[in-house]
Amino acid sequence: MTVAIRRRPAIASQTVVVAVLVVAAVAILLPFMWLAVSSLKTEAEIFANPLAIVQTLTLSNYASLFAQFHFGIATVNSILISLGVVGISVALGGLAAYGFSRYPFRGSRLLLGGLLVTRMVTPAALVVPLYLMMNALGLLNNLVSIILGIAVLNLPFVVWVLRPFFDALPHEIEEAGLVDGLSPLGVFFRIAVRLAAPGLLTVAILSFIAGWTDLLFPISFSTTPEAGALTSGLLQMQTGYKIYWGSLMAGGVYLTLPTLALSFALQKYLIQGMRLGY
Amino acid sequence: MRRGRARRLTGFGLTLPASVFVFAFMVYPIASVVFLSVHDYSPLRSSATTFTGLANYAWLLGSDLVHQSIWITVVFTVVSVAIELAIGLALAVLLARAVIEARSRTGRVLVRLLSSAYILPFATPAVAGAIAWKILLHPQFGPVDALLHTDIAWFAQFPLASVIVADAWKTMPFVLFLLFAAVLSIEPEQYEAARLDGANGWQEFRYLTFPLILPVVAVTAAFRAVDAFTKIFDTVFVTTGGGPANDTQVFPLLIWRTTFDFLDFGHASALAVAAILVSAVLGAGLLALRRASTA
């Protein structure tokens, strides 16, 4: 009897809670959905009444990305930048995080603390000297400079996420490996990497997104479309005297689709990354 | 004894590649920017690097443009983080409640769909999010003005507020999911006890949930504030470019413009050194706060 009395208001308030959550979800989805739908309109329809239903769907805005705005080469470049950032971050960050976790040495705590603090460095501040350095090395208008800049700012974050991850792994299997005659590096590659695979995957995804979405380094280190990324390419569509709205919308959606796909397919890892990453 | 030394050497060896990399592309550049900050180097005027002592820092301390930029960045950080926390906390508590009460299959599917929706801004590149907000808030063909029957150019008339809305939208999921995890980690028995005592939803939040997750709220807020203060760039660069009349020129953008628009490396270096000092202090503070909250 008491149970029945208490269940009823719970169901009613549950409905209210779900209703609020659904309204919030729609509001949160709306900006991107609006962008996606608008990108399928012709420019004439974009400039007409914004609340009108779409009359004709067209992919012409997407075609213009490749015909007018070098999106073919920019796509290849953005993929190379992202893979470069993933490679450096996961390789160097994985080894370092493992070392800090398993083999502490004199000064290692201080080194780790210093490394973690560099995570807070203002990227725009680092760009100033890095630009002069890359200029001196002849690496401007070259993807290498962009990759190095993004990777060095991403690396502390990777160590930050991975070290607690290695800390939480059981030591016994690794010690058995050492007893069986594997070198520490052998233990790392054959045992630790496999046990830490979920952590490494999380870090790889977040590093990929860091490379894919970065704007600062492409606009600072590259002035040619041959060495440009998708993010900096998008800015070519808003010049001082004309904004190519249709292309800008299509380009925004195009830039978002891969990260969106990654986040839906690997949502668990992304949320884990957020939680470990702060 | 030999094994101890071997272990320490192994640790040094494993961390060496990352240390060398960070030294070459972070520590050395920062040292060179400190050197440059006491020099005048403006390639547009002259290719010479001349020593000027603390002149660049004197300019920094006296410049209205710099003061304005710092003030804008502080306002941006405080308001954006406050909005993120308010909305993120509310949604986290409600979502956790829905998860706990979702016993049916459809309930669980709905919760999973909702979290997929909430993560979208986090997965949207800042550049693309900024474009979306530019269109939403456009005076001629934006839906916001159309619905309100107005023609307000939001990014021109209310630039800082518009930038804050766009940024809060993008970063709110981070707050939401961190607090969501914190709420879910509370033992269900504690809620049952509260309900037996006749607590309503608000009392439950006020006297049970909120005090229990407060440490996580504090660390999340501190973390987001440091991130917002030191890293805000893309959203402003794409929407207002710092304008109108420098009204949204946040500190990282001021450094960038001084470098790449004016090629004034002396002044830019002094700004960069100031930013790095602030980053280091905030970063060390954050590290200490995190150690204290997890210990």
The stretch A248-277 carries a mean pLDDT of 87
Instruction: Residues B62-294: name the CATH superfamily.
Output: MetI-like (1.10.3720.10)
How far does B121 lie from chain A, in Å, by closest CA?
7
Within 8 A of B28 by CB-CB distance, chain A residues are 133
Mapping DSSP to helix (H, G, I), strand (E, B) and coil, where does residue B66 land? helix
Residue B105 has pLDDT above 90, yes or no: no
Asked if A116's CB is within 8 angstroms of B283's CB, the reply is yes
φ/ψ region of A238 (left if φ > 0, alpha if ψ in -120 to 50, else beta) reads beta
A70 Ramachandran zone, left/alpha/beta (phi>0; psi -120 to 50):
left
pLDDT of amino acid A234:
94
Check CB contact of A259 with chain B, cutoff 8 Å.
Answer: yes
Which pLDDT score is estimated for A14?
A: 80
Q: Determine the pLDDT at residue A119.
A: 84
**Cα of A83 to nearest chain B Cα, Å:** 17
| CA atoms of A58 and B131, how far apart (whole Å) | 20
More confident residue, B200 or B77: B77
* Least trusted range by pLDDT, from A92-96, A119-123, A132-136: A119-123
Q: What is the pLDDT of residues A152-194, one digit of tens each?
A: 999 999 998 899 889 988 888 888 888 888 888 888 988 899 9
* Structure confidence by residue, pLDDT tens digits, B77-97: 999 999 999 999 999 999 998
Residue A144 to residue A137: CA distance in whole angstroms: 11
At A96 the pLDDT is 96
Q: Check whether A216 has a pLDDT greater than 70.
A: yes
Return the number of other C-beta atoms located less than 10 Å from residue A136's C-beta: 9
What is the pLDDT, as a whole number, of residue B294?
A: 66
Cβ contact, residue pair B118, A25, below 8 Å: yes
Q: Would you call A223 an interface residue with chain B, using a CB distance cutoff of 8 Å?
A: no
- A19 touching chain B per CB within 8 A: no
Q: Which of A38-47, A267-276, B29-38 has the lowest mean pLDDT?
A: A267-276
Percent with pLDDT over 90 in chain A: 59
Cβ within 8 Å of residue B230, ≥6 positions away: A120, A121, A122, B252, B275, B278, B279, B282
pLDDT band at A3 (very low <50, low <70, confident <90, very high): very low
Q: What is the pLDDT of residues A80-120, one digit of tens each?
A: 999 999 999 999 999 999 999 999 888 898 999 888 888 88
**Euclidean distance between CA atoms A197 and A90, whole angstroms:** 11
Q: Cα dist. B26→A85, A117, A157, B168, B251 in Å?
A: 15, 12, 14, 29, 20
**CA of A91 to nearest chain B CA: how many angstroms apart?**
9
- Share above pLDDT 90 across residues of chain B, in percent, rounded to a whole number: 67
Ordered by start, the domain boundaries in chain B are 62-294
On the question of pLDDT at B134 being above 90, the answer is yes
Q: Which residue bears the tokens 């940024």?
A: B167
Q: Touching check for A38 and chain B: CB below 8 Å?
A: yes
Q: What is the per-residue pLDDT for A9?
A: 54
The tokens for A189 are 């590659």
Q: Cβ distance A80 to A143 under 8 Å?
A: yes
Residues A65, A236: Cα–Cα separation, whole Å: 11
Averaged pLDDT for residues B132-158? 93
Look at A32 and B132 and tell me if their CB atoms are within 8 Å: yes
pLDDT at A47: 84
Q: What is the mean pLDDT of chain B?
A: 91
pLDDT at A4: 43
Task: With cut-offs at 50, 70 and 90, classify the pLDDT of residue A12.
Answer: low
Tell whether the model's pLDDT for residue A277 goes beyond 80: no
- Token pair recorded at residue B121: 């801004």
Q: What is the pLDDT of residue B197?
A: 83
pTM: 0.93
Answer with the residue of higher pLDDT: A175 or A143.
A143
Pick the more confident residue, A86 or A51: A86
B147–A278 C-beta distance less than 8 A: no
* Rg, Å, chain A Cα set: 24
pLDDT reported for residue A131: 96
Residue range B72-78: mean pLDDT, rounded = 97
pLDDT for the residue numbered B295? 54
Mean pLDDT check: name the lowest of A204-208, B3-7, B170-174: B3-7
Average pLDDT over residues A188-203: 90
Q: Tokens 């007893």 — which residue?
A: A179
Phi, psi dihedral angles at B40 (to 5 degrees): -105, 120
Summary mean pLDDT of chain A: 89
